[in-house]
């Protein structure tokens, strides 16, 4: 396949590009490098050779996207490009709607005009909001009631894809899509070729590892009074390599006209304190902690029921223990303490 990957210079997108190239596909990356890493593109180019190409472009440039798709003969795509910080989305909601919704509209329009047949959308468990206990762990039939602008922006994109696919079917256009709703993503390429490098970093496990490296003084635990066993938020952590394996399995199985949604996770949750203790075990560092207030828009508990994707596609996460997920991230940080050395 000739696959366009939006956001392919980012954390998840770059791992997807690496796996697609290893699977023998040709990949063209589109990224505006606002939060992506040029160093990731350079690394992927050195690995993939002529199987990887790159255009620096904002996804809201619909004409540019269409030209790129036609120039490279794109037949399939994975759409990762998005702003993805819950707290930031609460503070800057219109920025999120502009980038995530308007940007996705641009991408979908270009994909339909270019005749792309397979479209994988990077969605999120945040579209479910705060499910009640009877919906935990969360399956794909759980009501989608997001509680923050980030989750709402992703849900609107799912709606756009459903409506676009229904209209395409009436035109006998073989457009198919799958929305992969994943939970917290962690870890890094096992060979430490690429990894996680956000600036600023807001994710729990990388922050713990930055404390272990001496780049931060302490981990701040945002809220210790949630209705969970230890009072801190619980999340389902899926290894980034498992996540991109799910994307590969989905795009290769997607049939013309299909509209699919899959949860991707390991089926169990870990609390903030459990993650902190696991990082202490893996690194051998004390990792000091301090407490802060709750962050707006953070649900107490989100864990996946991944039974549907396992049943339909035979996909099952390889990394299921938190320590082994963190070990791959720790090796990346030790090998690349300054990330991709982005200026």
Cα distances (Å, whole numbers) of residue 171 to 62, 112, 115, 258:
22, 11, 12, 14
The answer to whether 218 and 290 are in contact (CB under 8 A) is: yes
Per-residue pLDDT, 9: 97
Tell me, yes or no, if 150 is annotated catalytic.
Answer: yes
All residues at 6 or more sequence positions from 203 whose CB lies less than 8 Å from its CB, including other chains:
184, 186, 196
Looking at residue 337, the DSSP 8-state letter turns out to be: T
pLDDT at position 136 over 70:
yes
Q: Which of 128, 150, 237, 333 is catalytic?
A: 150
Whole-number Å distance between alpha carbons of 244 and 25: 14
**Of 317, 329, 342, 160, which is closest to residue 249 (Cα–Cα)?**
317
**Of 165, 130, 178, which is closest to residue 151 (Cα–Cα)?**
130
Per-residue pLDDT, 343: 37
Residues of 67-97 as b/e, b for ≥16 C-beta within 10 angstroms? ebbeebebbbbbbbbbbbbbebbbeeeeebb
**Which of 154-168, 220-234, 286-300 is predicted with the least confidence, judged by mean pLDDT?**
286-300
**Of 113, 15, 98, 22, which is closest to residue 62 (Cα–Cα)?**
113
Residue 158 pLDDT level (bands cut at 50, 70, 90): very high
pLDDT at position 202 over 90:
no
Residue 322 pLDDT level (bands cut at 50, 70, 90): very high
Q: List pLDDT tens digits, range 213-251.
A: 999 999 999 999 999 999 999 999 999 999 999 999 999
Q: How many CB atoms lie within 10 A of CB 24?
A: 8
The total number of residues shown for the chain amounts to 343
- 3-state SS class at 116: coil
Q: List pLDDT tens digits, range 44-79.
A: 999 999 999 999 999 999 999 999 999 999 999 999
- Kindly tell me the burial class for residue 8, based on how many C-beta atoms sit within 10 Å of its own C-beta (0-12, 13-18, 19 or more): buried
Per-residue pLDDT, 198: 85
Residue 263 pLDDT level (bands cut at 50, 70, 90): very high
Q: Which two structure tokens, joined as six digits, stand for 267?
A: 């089926």
Q: Around 235, how many Cα atoms within 13 Å sit in the side-chain half-sphere?
A: 24
More confident residue, 339 or 289: 289
Q: How far apart are the first and last CA of the chain?
A: 34
- 3-state SS class at 227: coil
């Amino acid at each position: 396949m000739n696959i366009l990957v939006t956001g392919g210079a980012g954390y998840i997108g770059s791992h997807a590009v690496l796996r697609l190239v290893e699977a023998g596909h040709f990949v063209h990356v589109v990224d505006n490098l606002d939060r992506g890493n040029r160093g990731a593109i350079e690394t992927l180019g050195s690995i993939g050779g002529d199987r990887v190409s790159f255009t620096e472009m904002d996804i809201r440039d619909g004409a540019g996207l269409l030209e790129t798709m036609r120039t490279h003969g794109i037949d399939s795509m994975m759409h990762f490009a998005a702003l993805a910080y819950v707290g930031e989305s609460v503070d800057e909601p219109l920025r999120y709607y502009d980038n995530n919704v308007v940007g996705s509209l641009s991408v979908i329009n270009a994909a339909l005009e270019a005749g792309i047949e397979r479209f994988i959308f990077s969605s999120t468990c945040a579209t479910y909001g705060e499910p009640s206990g009877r919906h935990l762990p969360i399956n794909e039939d759980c009501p989608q009631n997001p509680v923050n602008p980030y989750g709402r922006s992703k849900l609107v994109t799912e709606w756009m894809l459903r409506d676009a696919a229904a209209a395409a079917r009436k035109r006998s256009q073989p457009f198919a899509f799958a929305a992969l709703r994943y939970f917290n993503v962690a870890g890094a390429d096992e060979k430490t070729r690429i990894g996680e490098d956000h600036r600023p970093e807001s994710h729990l496990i990388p922050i713990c590892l930055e404390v272990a490296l001496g780049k931060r003084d302490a981990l701040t635990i945002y809220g210790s009074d949630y209705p969970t066993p230890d009072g801190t938020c619980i999340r389902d952590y899926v290894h980034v390599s498992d996540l991109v394996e799910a994307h590969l399995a989905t795009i290769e199985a997607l049939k013309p006209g299909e509209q699919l949604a899959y949860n991707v996770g390991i089926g169990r949750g870990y609390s903030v304190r459990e993650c902190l203790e696991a990082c202490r075990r893996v690194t051998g560092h004390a990792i000091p902690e301090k407490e802060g207030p709750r962050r707006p828009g953070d649900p107490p508990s989100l864990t996946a029921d991944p039974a549907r994707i396992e049943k339909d596609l035979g996909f099952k996460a390889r990394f299921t223990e938190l320590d082994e997920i963190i070990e791959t991230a720790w090796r990346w940080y030790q090998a690349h303490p300054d990330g991709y050395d982005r200026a």
